[in-house]
Structure 1
Amino acid sequence: MSGFKIEWEIIPLRLKEVFTISRSSRSQVANVFLSITKDGITGYGEAGPNTRYNETPEMVVSDFESIPSGFFNDIYSLDEVESMISNLNPEPVQSAKTAIEMAWLDWWAKSQNKPLWELLGEKNSTTPVTSFTIGIDSPEKMQAKIRDAEQCPVYKIKLGTDHDREIIEAIREVTDKPLRVDANEGWSTLEKAQEEIQFLSTQNVELIEQPMPSSEFKLMKQLKEWSPLPLAADESFIGNEDLQKIAKAFHVVNIKLMKMGSIMKARRVLNQAHEHGLRVMVGCMIESSLANAAGALVALNAEYADLDGHLLISNDIFNGLELKGSGQLKLSDLPGLGVEK
C-alpha cells in the first residue's frame, strides 16, 4: 500500500489590525499548516500554537517530524483516529495533535466524496451567530473598528484594562447591538470583577468570558453565585478538567480545538458539558478558514460561536467558509472540511 506524502509549512497570518488583549499585543501569528496526500487526495490541517499554553511553531514542527512512516495508513476508522494521534507523543503539543487529526479527517471525508459534517451525522451545516472580536485599543479606535464591522450582529469586546468603563461607554455611543465581553483574566480581585460586571449588566452584555485568573477558582465560585450575567470559562478550561467542578464556577465553557487537541474529543466534551448543565461556546485562536471550518463543525451543536479568527487576518490562505448576513457561519457542501486552498 502506498504511503501518504506529508508536508508542512509555517505561515505568518497577518492581522488586519494590531490585536491587543489584557496580557499581550501582536500584529501576526505563525501557524503551521500540514498536508497529507494519497491517491491524488490532499487533506489539510492547521496548528495555531499559543504561548499562553507554552506552545511554539517549532514545537509543532517537531511533532510533525516525529510522525512515523506509514502512520496514516494504519488509521481505518473514526474510532481509531483520536486514540492513535494521542499516542504519537507522550508530551504532545495540543495544537499539533489538532492539525494531524484535522488533516486525516479532511482527507478521509474527501476520499468518501462527502462533506465531513454529513459523514459525522449532522443534519444542519449552520452555526449559531458568531461574535466579531474588537481588541483593546483607544476608545476612539475601538469605535472605528465597530463602524468597520457594522454588518456583524454581535461584538466580542476585549477588556481587562484600567479604563474598561470608558471603552464600553464609547462603544455604546456607536452601537446598541449585543456585546460579549472577554476580560482574559484581567480582573484580579473579586471586588474588581463584581464592580465591572455590575456595570456591564446594564449594557446589553450577553456574557462575560474569563473575568478572573484561572488560578482563582474559589473566587470564581463566589462570583458565579453572585453574578447577574453568565460567566464563561476559557483559560480555566483547557479540555481535561472536571466539568462538574467547572459548572460550580461558570455557566458556559469555551471549547477551542487548539486547546482540546482533537475535533472528535471536542464533540464529545461538548455533549458532556451539556449533561452537566453548561452551555457551550466554540472559540478559536487567530486561525485561517481551515481551522475555523473545523471549529464550526463542532459549533453546530453549541449555544455560542466565537469563530472569527479568519475574519481578523488579511492573508487567509483558504476559502469556502461562508459568513451569512445573519452572522452565522455555514459549512459548504464540498467534500472534507469544505474549504479550498
Structure 2
Amino acid sequence: MSHFNIECQVSELTLTNPFTIARGTKETVRNVVVSLTADGITGWGEAGPNRRYAEDAETVINFIDDLGEGFFDDLDSPDAVAQKLASLDSPVYAALAALEMAWLDWWAKSEEQPLWKCWNAPSNITPSTSFTIGLDSIEVMQQKVREAEEYPILKVKLGTERDRDIIRGIREITDKPIRVDANEGWKNVNEAKKQITFLADQNIELVEQPMPSAMFDEMIALKQWSPLPLMADESFKGNENLKQMSRAFHGINIKLMKIGSLVKARNVIAQAQKYDLSVMVGCMIESSLAISAGALIGTWADYVDLDGFLLIKDDPFEGVALTEDKKLVLSDQPGLGVFRNNNKMV
C-alpha cells in the first residue's frame, strides 16, 4: 500500500489580455496546483475554480486540507478513486477534479504509460480547438481576430446589447466558422430568437448557453424552434438528467472543473450519445496541466474548446502540443505527460 503526501499551492495565472464575458472581466485567475507523491512518483493536478459556481482558491485549499492523512492510501483503481471522492460531503468540484487528476497522473506514471494509453483513448489527438475572442470594443475584437488568424475556429463571447454589431464587425474581416457563447446573456425567448435568427445567416456553428440556466422550460421552447445547435454550459454541471437535457439542448459542454472527475466525464459522454447529445469539452482559464487532462477527455468529444492555456502569459506547465490546424496532441510521456516549469510558478 502506497502512502501519499498531498500538497497544494496557489498558482496565479495572468491573462495576455483582459478577458471579458457577459458576467464581468478578469485580468488574473488564482488556480490551485495539487501534487500527490508516493513511492518516489509525483502526480500533478490543477483546480481552476470559478465564482459562478461559488468556488475560489480558498475553498479549494480548505477542502483539500480537510481530507486528512491517508485518504488515497487504500485506493488502487481510477474507479475507486472517483467513487471515494464523489462520496465526500459539500464537494468543491474544482478540488475534486484536481485531486483525481493528480492521482491519475501518478497512477499512469507508476504504470510507465501515458494516461491516454492506459485508458485506451480513441487517439491522442483531439478535434481542432476554438480560440476565444472576449468582449471588448468592436475595434479591439477585430484586432484580436486578426491576431488569431492561425486558428481555424473562433469562439465569440456575446450576451450584450451590441451582439449584432460585434458579429458584423468580425464578419468584415473573416468568414471562418464561429461558435457563439452568450453566457446566459439573453434574458427571454424573444430576445434569444431575434439574436439566433440573425446569427443563422452568419456562418455560426453553434450557440452556447443562450439564456440563464434557471430558464429551463424556456430553453425547451427555444430548442424546438432553433435553426442552430444549442449547447448547455452553465445549465450542465455534471449531475443533471441527460434525457431532460436533450429536451432543451442539442449538446452539452463538459468542463472538468464543473463535473469534478475525468472518470465521470468519460461515463457522461457515453450516456450523452444515447440521447443524441453532442459533446463539447471546454475549460476555465487553466494552464497546460488541466488542459492536458481536458484534452484526454476531448479525444472522445465532438468539439473541444480548450484554449485556456493559450490565453495566459506564463504557463507554469508544458506538455500538450498543437498541430497546424490546432488539434491538441497528448504526449507519449508517462502520466498526463506534463512537466512543471519551476521558474514560472508563483
Q: Distance in 1 between matches of 2:122 and 2:135?
A: 38
Task: Note closer, same or farther for the CA distance 1:265–1:2 as it changes in structure 2 (3 Å cut).
Answer: closer
Q: CA deviation at 1:2?
A: 5.8
* SS of match in other structure, 1:72: coil
What is the deviation of 1:78?
Answer: 1.9
- 1:329 aligns to what? 328
The alpha carbon displacement at 1:123 in A equals 3.7
1:36-58 residue CA offsets vs partner (Å, 9 max, x unmatched)? 11222110010111110011111
Off by >3 Å, runs of 4+ in structure 1? none
Q: In the alignment, is residue 22 of structure 1 matched against residue 22 of structure 2? A: yes
| Matched letter for residue 223 of structure 2 | K
2:325 partner SS: coil
**Counterpart of 1:28 in structure 2: which amino acid?**
T
- Structure 1 residue aligned with 2:42: 42
Q: Counterparts in 2 of 1:192-341, with a 5 A limit?
A: 192-341=191-340
Root-mean-square deviation (Å): 0.9
Q: Does residue 173 of structure 2 align to residue 185 of structure 1?
A: no
SS state at 1:280 partner: strand
CA deviation vs aligned residue, 1:92-118 (integer Å, no higher than 9, x gap): 100000000000000000011100000
Per the alignment, in what secondary structure is the counterpart of residue 169 of structure 1? Answer: helix
* Cα separation, 2, equivalents of 1:55 and 1:13: 17
**Identity score, percent:** 55
3-state SS, counterpart of residue 258 of structure 2: helix
Q: Deviations over 1:250-283 (max 9, x none)?
A: 0010001000010000010011111111000000
> How far has the Cα of 1:11 moved from its partner?
1.1
Query: SS of the residue aligned with 2:13?
Result: strand
User: Are 2:72 and 2:81, in contact at CA under 8 Å, matched by a contact in 1?
Assistant: no
Amino acid at match of 2:226: S
2:2–2:74 CA contact under 8 A, matched in 1: no
Instruction: Indicate the residue corresponding to 2:171 in structure 1.
Output: 172
CA deviation vs aligned residue, 1:192-217 (integer Å, no higher than 9, x gap)? 10011011111100000000111111
Q: Deviations over 1:5-50 (max 9, x none)?
A: 2211101110101000001111011000000112221100101111
Letter in 1 for 2:15: L
Give the match's secondary structure for 2:19: strand
Q: Is the partner of 2:317 in helix, strand or coil?
A: coil
Amino acid at match of 2:298: A
Bigger mean CA offset, 277-286 vs 68-77: 68-77
CA distance in 2 between counterparts of 1:207 and 1:179 reads 8
Tell me the equivalent position of 1:70: 70
Instruction: After superposition, give the CA deviation of every residue in 1:189-240 in whole Å (9 maximum; x if it has no partner).
Output: 1111001101111110000000011111111111111111000000111111
- Looking at structure 2, the residues matched to 318 and 256 of structure 1 have their Cα atoms a distance apart, in angstroms, of 19
Partner-residue secondary structure (3-state), 1:272: helix
Retained in 1: the 8 A contact 2:79–2:263? Answer: no
TM-score by length of 2: 0.97
SS in 1 for 2:339: coil
Which residue is equivalent to 1:144? 143
CA contact (8 A) 2:127 2:328 kept: yes
Match of 1:109 in 2: 108
TM-score, normalisation: structure 1: 0.98
Counterpart for residue 53 of structure 1: 53
> Partner of 1:85 in structure 2?
85
Secondary structure of 1:20's partner?
Answer: strand
Other structure's SS at 1:74 match? coil
> In 2, Cα distance between the equivalents of 1:248 and 1:2?
46
